[in-house]
């Protein structure tokens, strides 16, 4: 069914190449970001849910 529509689109063979390039660039950028991020920031964010909130009211009214 879709074969008929795809045959009528001009230059459709370029879209898989563009999609592959976008996919590759995104994940390459993501890997670069992961390796360059500050390790202290990661540890701080990792432990954040476990820390006690100092402004939290500890007694029940």
Kindly state whether residue 51 falls inside one of the protein's structural domains: no
Task: Tell me the per-residue pLDDT of 19-61, one tens digit each, with 9 for 90 and over.
Answer: 999 999 999 999 999 999 999 988 888 888 777 765 555 555 5
Kindly state whether residue 31 falls inside one of the protein's structural domains: yes
Kindly state whether residue 59 falls inside one of the protein's structural domains: no
Q: What is the pLDDT of residue 53?
A: 64
Whole-structure pTM value: 0.56
Kindly state whether residue 2 falls inside one of the protein's structural domains: no
Kindly state whether residue 54 falls inside one of the protein's structural domains: no
Q: Which residues form the domain of 40?
A: 13-46
Number of domains present in the structure of the chain: 1
**Vertex 58 angle, CA 57 and 59, to 5°:** 100
Statement: residue 13 has pLDDT above 70: yes
Q: What is the pLDDT of residue 59?
A: 53
Kindly state whether residue 32 falls inside one of the protein's structural domains: yes
H helices within 1-61, ranges in order? 2-8, 14-36, 39-47
């Amino acid at each position: 069914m879709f074969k008929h529509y795809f045959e009528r689109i001009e230059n459709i063979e370029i879209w898989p190449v563009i999609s592959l390039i976008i996919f590759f660039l995104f994940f390459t950028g993501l890997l670069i970001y992961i390796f360059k991020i500050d390790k202290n920031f990661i540890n701080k964010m990792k432990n954040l849910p476990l820390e006690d909130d100092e402004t939290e009211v500890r007694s029940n009214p």
